[in-house]
Chains A and B, each alone.
Chain A
């Protein structure tokens, strides 16, 4: 199954992965016309700076043993046995945000605009599972690889 692997030594902190993610969730338009100030277009990924001032890209790892799925009591978070990707169904979500509390990477968050659902990577299901963040990374800091489960 496919995963996004990160080589943070290559990350230049350009945040192109974030813009690509914002655009990937929109039904139309292009990178030129996303309202970059609107929380409606929140990115599923981000880049943090660690104590050594190095860029640390933060992405959903679709973990083998996902803490978000284990802590989800409503069944909104489910790991697909076929793809290995962790999916999220906002309809089933009880807004307890235990997944946010338990994510070991700190990547999950409630949406900023309404605080009623979890902002979660779906491996670009609407883009034939070709993560747009990877496609738009200019340095190759993130890549998609087939891994053993």
Chain B
């Protein structure tokens, strides 16, 4: 019998997972929550400044200014802008690689699986070409050219990709972004030592970063991936730790860049590779989904048959997935890859391979996975994968959890597949909203964290409260991973919805929570918002639509939130984003933004209270549209 690592672990909304982690003989993030329980109050308020050697300076009644003279507003403004710039940088790295992969595939006349997505992109970006590869290359070039523009030159695709009334508002506010990379550099420079001290200017810079992140990092990443990797198709899928089949050699993928494994994923079903795997004693090689790239594989599951078993769990489920012993290799191309997996990988002889040096893990082997080297690199990786399986499987005991998750999660949702499901028009959804059968829409997006009541607790409770109020929930990000494993994305979950929404779900055979997959899919939700607003001839802030990142975790989520604010949406957060030390930041983000973009930040860590707040806003917006 194995010994529990410790007696106190973090709670989870997912009780099966919580019990599994509590019994593990290995240390996970769940075990470390208690020892990190004491938080620094200055950090929580965002008023610790360590931008220079005079610091760290903190704000107290006896020391209301830093040595340089910066007050709480300036310190918070700089810290917040730095975070949003870093978050934007993450997503811009993702779109840059995605565009490069699309371009290189086009030049090599490789397979483009999403013909419709390619045509849609051509329409959206006013691009024509002689054949699909010519079009794809031009699309990729247009995206890359925009990313590299200087700060003073507006990105040319912003207008194509924006809803007209929004574009106009952004123009009036002077927050249309220049080149996406230049905006990030400007954000980092502004917030450096003794440069910008104007908190409002820095918060408005966050809006510029929100727009470039949203349109390029989120929306375009999805569409480019769809063109290259295939369009999402609505289907049922298995989710949770049950998807791991120990009879296969298993590669757990983590990251956000589906196109990085385009070549590798196809090789997994190659006859020669399968034969090699069988000679090693396995049935073949499969990918096990974890974090957002797992969601991307799941949403494109129709194009991933034979090598993808399903999405096992979100960011903070990764350690548990490894602890099953049935994962042989972790293949990392980006975040969210917790440093905490490293000792687990060591203990269970799991090999870590990293194919993007940006996400280099301490114990991982970096493989040069450039497009030109993809065949050689893939062959090397698969040899390593098979060798690792052979050397470790007889030595590492399995600890499977087949009861975790479910086999009937609805997936494959995108702006296009949902519209297709509705008959190529948003009218049925609009009719349901108008009649009140669907009171409104809530996008429950973003990460999972282990604060508050625990892993996914607020996310799942809030979702339950919202559907009870006949509010249809749409998800994107690690929230999807948590909610699906708790069963709310299965058609049977209609029983948990309010009477009106329940009837709609039952009539259509859908769950009350629609899973759009990775955090990148916040961009898909933006397209839906834009198209529905367009159909109604109103602006996005008028829609009965709210955004919530109840358990936001990281800087990327702050950049997503900035996009939500720029779109004019109410953005609910379970915990403040380290800004409450500044009265100006609080005033601008929570109140004045309503006058600027129409958006606002709402902070509440209680599920029932938050659901009431969001419902009130939806009711208000309905009234604004003349709906009861």
Is the pairing of A and B real? Answer: yes
Residues of A within 8 A of B (CB): 14-16, 18-20, 23, 31-43, 46, 112, 135-138
Q: Are A136 and B60 in contact (CB under 8 A)?
A: no
Chain B residues with CB under 8 A of A138: 38, 40
Chain A residues with CB under 8 A of B581: 36
Q: Are B61 and A19 in contact (CB under 8 A)?
A: no
Within 8 Å by CB of A31, from B45, B64, B72, lies: B45
Chain B residues with CB under 8 A of A43: 60-61
B223, CB-defined interface residue at 8 Å: no
B351, CB-defined interface residue at 8 Å: no
Complex: chain A residue closest to B575, CB-CB? A32
Chain B residues with CB under 8 A of A137: 38
Complex: chain A residue closest to B36, CB-CB? A138
Q: Are B42 and A15 in contact (CB under 8 A)?
A: yes
Give chain B's interface residue range (CB within 8 Å of chain A): 20 to 34
Chain A residues with CB under 8 A of B576: 32
In chain B, positions 567-587 with a C-beta closer than 8 Å to chain A are 576, 580-581, 583
Interface of B is mostly: loop
Chain B residues with CB under 8 A of A112: 61-62
B58, CB-defined interface residue at 8 Å: yes
**Do A16 and B40 form a contact, CB below 8 Å, given A32-B45, A37-B64, A37-B72?**
yes
Q: Are A32 and B40 in contact (CB under 8 A)?
A: no
Q: Are B41 and A19 in contact (CB under 8 A)?
A: yes
With contacts A15-B42, A135-B38, A136-B38 known, what are 18 further pairs, Cβ within 8 A?
Answer: A14-B40, A14-B42, A16-B38, A16-B41, A18-B60, A20-B41, A32-B576, A33-B580, A34-B41, A34-B45, A36-B42, A36-B47, A36-B60, A36-B61, A36-B72, A37-B59, A40-B61, A138-B38
B528, CB-defined interface residue at 8 Å: no
B44, CB-defined interface residue at 8 Å: yes
Complex: chain B residue closest to A35, CB-CB? B583
Chain B residues with CB under 8 A of A135: 38
Q: Are B38 and A39 in contact (CB under 8 A)?
A: no
Q: Are A36 and B59 in contact (CB under 8 A)?
A: yes
Contact with A along B575-607 (1 / 0, CB 8 A): 010001101000000000000000000000000
Chain B residues with CB under 8 A of A34: 41, 45
Nearest CB of chain A from residue B472's CB, rounded to whole Å: 31
- Distance in angstroms between the alpha carbons of A43 and B72 in the assembled complex: 18
A-B contact pairs, 27 of them (CB 8 A): A14-B40, A15-B42, A16-B38, A16-B40, A19-B41, A23-B41, A31-B44, A32-B45, A33-B580, A34-B41, A34-B45, A36-B42, A36-B47, A36-B59, A36-B60, A36-B61, A36-B581, A37-B61, A37-B71, A37-B72, A40-B61, A43-B60, A46-B62, A112-B61, A135-B38, A136-B38, A138-B38
**Do A36 and B45 form a contact, CB below 8 Å, given A42-B61, A43-B60, A112-B61?**
yes
Chain A residues with CB under 8 A of B38: 16, 135-138
- Distance in angstroms between the alpha carbons of A42 and B41 in the assembled complex: 15
- Distance in angstroms between the alpha carbons of A85 and B468 in the assembled complex: 52
